[in-house]
Amino acid sequence: MTSVFLKMIKARAWELSLTALIIAALIAAMSAQTSLSGYSEKRIHEYAHKIGGNILIIPAETDIRQFFGMRGDQELMPGGFPEKLLESPVGKKIQAIRAELFGQTRINNQPVPLIGTRLIRSGKQNLSIQSDQALIGKMAAEKLQVSAGDFIKISGPGKERTLEVNRILDKAPDGLDTGVFVDLGAARKILGKPDGLGAMRVSGCWCDTDISGLAADIEKNLPGTRALTVKGVISAQKDMIDTVAQYSSLINILGGLFIALIVGLSIYSQTRGQLKNIALLLVVGARPWMIAGLFVCLAALIGLAGAILGWILGVAVTPGISELLLGETIPAAGTNLGWVVFSGVLLSAAAALWPALAASRCHPADIFRKV
Amino acid sequence: MILQLNDIRKEFKGRSNHSVLAVDDVSMQVEAGEFIVVNGASGSGKSTLLFTMGAMLPPTSGQVVCDGTDLYALSPSRRSKMRNLRIGFVFQTFNLISYLNSLENVAFPALLAGSSKKAAMQRAEDLLNRLGLGERLSHLPVELSVGERQRVAICRGLVNAPDILLADEPTGNMDPELTQETMELFRGINRQGQTIVMVTHNPELSETGNRHVLMEKGSIRAERIVSAEDKAL
């Protein structure tokens, strides 16, 4: 029976390969989707950590992903907003506001994100920045090959400035190890944005405060802004995770059903195309369970090939798809090869059961009369 | 007695719900060593009778008893096993498995019967050699002539040394010369003790065996023992 099985595969190699390829494409798509969903969830976790105990105020149109990734052209809010906030009814609940401006610059002909602010927190230290100085994240310093005391020329859409490197930050705030921190005024000149602000980080003691209510009040007092809190992000995260999980489950169920349909149809077509051989095998003594087993094994093999190929394809295409959809290259993750293979084989074998059993129950003479 | 058919009736239901009575109340016995030729016009029910006899087509009513067992009372799996071990088949269109070579086609039923690969291949090779196909062991069916294919099919039918060999129009696609050659082969096998039931629409072959059964409209119209004198005529 094994030789019949192998020769049957050889005789129908093209048809079987095509089915396996279709399954592989579906599995690759499902795998990429899982990776992207997992990555988005992880990102929201990171955002929540970055916000920490602060309230982050940003222009309402700001794309959160681009904001935290320090990419794209940043939306701005009026430069007088910190004062306006302090003067507003919620101002008494606020202890400090750190105003920031972000932008893309070039140093030594290399792209480097610039963060303009007056005070930063590195580890447990608060560091103020002088207008003629720059603090550099560790990775940026390595990339630019500069050390404390060196002078760097920063070019941006505005004026070019030369600043002295005051310190290399072992622990840059908000994980911005690839950035250069300069005084807010200097950043405005370099970036050619004399009045704008990209973000405000508001801190205070809010033990007895309804943070969500405070954020809403801030948004009311500063029209056109969005106030993000950890609670808000966590809540958004929960909603998003629930939505993603819901869609992921639906996509996976539909994908699985489609795979089952493809395999089922393929095996049905195989049994129809080989009716005479099936009848013949039964005549010479093959037991019906052997015939059913032959086609179930064939389906399992298609599922195995499709799953392995699909997993490999998923790993290969996920970075490209993520670049296309999210503008970021992310690796494939979240799909375990063993689980994909197990599911693919099981689903394919199950899908083949009906056509395989139907074929095994045929009466040889009926087939010979018809074929 | 090898096989006994008791009141076999086979009715086919058409799509328009019209039924066709292919075999009508046929009873017969097949004794060991017999060579029965079932003859009749096209549509007389002879092939249906043969398939029913060979546990391939359940009758609408009646019994096919082999060694005290009603073949159609067995489970499909046990019926397949019975077919494998006790019944050999030869078809008009040979029905060889296209992707197996001659040796594999012949050895396959032996492997299904539980023989080791070596033993099955050896037995298949011996049979193919006996029927003059020693040079064609690794040839696929498409690479064989009509006569050679039929001989491979006969070898396959004999590989498990069945109690009975059933042949359905084995010379239907052959020219007169090849028909004679094949009939000689069948007679030779029968002389060695093999029980054969052969169905043919060719009346000239009715004297080939040692019993002739004439079928008409699903029933046995006439039955007679063929004597040596008949054959000489």
Provide the CATH number for the domain around residue A166.
2.40.40.20
Residue A41 and residue A237 in contact, taking contact as beta carbons nearer than 8 Å: yes
Residue B232 confidence (pLDDT) above 60: no
DSSP result, A253-283: HHHHHHHHHHHHHHHHHHHHHTHHHHHHHHH
Angstrom distances, CA of residue A345 to CA of A21, A252, A314, A350:
14, 15, 17, 8
State whether A351 and A316 are in the same domain: yes
Question: Of how many residues is chain A composed?
Answer: 371
State whether A144 and A11 are in the same domain: no
User: And the tokens for B142?
Assistant: 């498409």
**CA-closest candidate to residue B91, choices B47, B144, B138:** B47
Contacts of A10 in chain B (CB under 8 A): 99
Least confident among A2-11, A250-259, B70-79, B129-138? A2-11
Residue A92 confidence (pLDDT) above 90: no
State whether A214 and A90 are in the same domain: yes
**CA-closest candidate to residue B200, choices B190, B182, B191:** B182
Residue A304 confidence (pLDDT) above 90: yes
> What integer pLDDT is reported at residue A327 of this predicted model?
66
More confident residue, A74 or A189: A189
Contacts of B56 in chain A (CB under 8 A): 282-283, 363-365
Residue B143 DSSP symbol: G
**Cα gap A296→A360, rounded to integer Å:** 11
Report yes or no on A49 lying in a domain.
no
Which of A4, A285, A363 is closest, CB to CB, to B58?
Answer: A363
Band of the pLDDT at A97, cuts 50, 70, 90? confident
- Over the stretch B71-96, which tens digit does the pLDDT of each residue have? 899 988 888 888 888 899 888 777 88
Element (H, E) at B194: none
Contact state of A277 with B97 under an 8 Å Cβ cutoff: yes
Residue B54 and residue B95 in contact, taking contact as beta carbons nearer than 8 Å: no
* Average pLDDT estimate for A285-289: 86
Report yes or no on A301 lying in a domain.
yes
Report yes or no on B66 lying in a domain.
no
State whether A203 and A84 are in the same domain: yes
State whether A102 and A163 are in the same domain: yes
Helix (H, G, I), strand (E, B) or coil at A4: helix
State whether A307 and A185 are in the same domain: no
Least confident among A171-175, A181-185, A216-220, B193-197? A171-175
**Cα gap A154→B143, rounded to integer Å:** 81
Report yes or no on A351 lying in a domain.
yes
Helix (H, G, I), strand (E, B) or coil at B200: strand
DSSP result, A188-201: HHHHT-SSEESEEE
Q: Helices (H), strands (E): how many in chain B?
A: 7, 10
Q: Among the three residues A228, A255, A288, which one is the final residue of a domain in this structure?
A: A228
Give the Cβ contact number of residue B20 at 10 Å.
Answer: 13
Amino acid at A10: K
**Cα gap B36→B31, rounded to integer Å:** 10
> Does the beta carbon of B77 lie under 8 angstroms from any beta carbon of chain A?
yes
Report yes or no on A316 lying in a domain.
yes
Report yes or no on A174 lying in a domain.
yes
Give A226-258 as a 3 state SS string.
Answer: EEECHHHHHHHHHHHHHHHHHHHHHHHHHHHHH
Q: Helices (H), strands (E): how many in chain A?
A: 12, 13
> Does the beta carbon of B113 lie under 8 angstroms from any beta carbon of chain A?
yes
State whether A198 and A181 are in the same domain: yes
State whether A327 and A244 are in the same domain: yes
Here the contacts of A257-261 (C-beta below 8 Å, separation 24 or greater) are A258/A26, A259/A23, A259/A26, A259/A27, A259/A303, A259/A306, A259/A344, A259/A347, A259/A348, A259/A351, A260/A347, A260/A348, A260/A350, A260/A351, A261/A351
Residue A161 and residue A107 in contact, taking contact as beta carbons nearer than 8 Å: no
> What integer pLDDT is reported at residue A53 of this predicted model?
63
Contact state of A276 with B80 under an 8 Å Cβ cutoff: no
**Cα gap A264→A165, rounded to integer Å:** 67
What is the maximum alpha-carbon separation in chain B?
52
**Cα gap A23→A177, rounded to integer Å:** 42
Contacts of A283 in chain B (CB under 8 A): 54, 56, 83, 89, 95
Residue B233 confidence (pLDDT) above 60: no
Residue A282's domain spans which residues? 2-44+237-370
First to last CA, chain A: 23
Question: Which CATH number belongs to the domain containing residue B106 in this structure?
Answer: 3.40.50.300
> What integer pLDDT is reported at residue A329 of this predicted model?
73
Into how many domains does chain B fold? 1
Report yes or no on B148 lying in a domain.
yes
φ, ψ dihedrals at B43, nearest 5°: 85, 10
User: And the tokens for A264?
Assistant: 């089922």
Report yes or no on B81 lying in a domain.
no
Report yes or no on B2 lying in a domain.
no
State whether A196 and A246 are in the same domain: no
**Cα gap A180→A28, rounded to integer Å:** 39
* Average pLDDT estimate for B220-231: 75
State whether A249 and A366 are in the same domain: yes
DSSP result, A329-342: -----S--HHHHHH
Report yes or no on A196 lying in a domain.
yes
Residue B198's domain spans which residues? 32-50+86-232
Which of B100, B112, B156 is closest, CB to CB, to A286?
Answer: B112
- Give Cα A249 to chain centroid, integer Å: 17
Contact state of B95 with A366 under an 8 Å Cβ cutoff: no
Into how many domains does chain A fold? 2
Q: Among the three residues A228, A258, A279, which one is the final residue of a domain in this structure?
A: A228
Contacts of A286 in chain B (CB under 8 A): 80, 84, 112
State whether A110 and A183 are in the same domain: yes
**Cα gap B164→B183, rounded to integer Å:** 17
Q: Among the three residues A197, A228, A259, which one is the final residue of a domain in this structure?
A: A228
Stretch 24-63 of chain B: residues touching chain A, C-beta under 8 Å = 48, 51-52, 54, 56-58
State whether A39 and A70 are in the same domain: no
Report yes or no on A104 lying in a domain.
yes
Contacts of B104 in chain A (CB under 8 A): 3
- Over the stretch A54-70, which tens digit does the pLDDT of each residue have? 788 888 888 777 777 66
Helix (H, G, I), strand (E, B) or coil at A130: coil
